Amino acid sequence: MGLGSMKKGLDELETHLRDPDRRAKGGNRNESQTNPPEEFANRVKSLRSRLRLTQGQFAERYGLPISTVRNWEQGRRARPDTAGWLLIALIEQDPVGFASRIEELT
């Protein structure tokens, strides 16, 4: 993954973190009663669909528990944390390169 792709992913994360609606809702609190933003669930589903991967294949390729992918997509997981947002942004920027890096680390 190139530095440009990583920078773009980090820029997207910074934009997310500066969201005034997010701060008003308590920042990064993990409230079990609060569903993740519909935008995030749709973003994960759309990314996986574009890559033509099942939930299991997506989870395996990017080193995630399948339950996390399911929960993100089905809105059952509490508000996604910063790491979740960053991970999806980085995968979007370079899905093949990111998968290769994961493979190298495992």
pTM of the complete model: 0.66
**26-51 b/e (C-beta count within 10 Å ≥ 16 → b):** eeeeeeeeeebbeebbebbeebbeeb
> In the chain, where are the structural domains located?
3-19+35-105
For 46-85, the pLDDT digits (tens) are: 999 999 999 999 999 999 999 999 988 987 765 677 888 8
Check: CATH 1.10.260.40 for 3-19+35-105?
A: yes
Higher per-residue pLDDT: 80 or 1: 80
Please tell me the least confidently modeled range out of 36-40, 76-80, 82-86, 87-91. Answer: 76-80
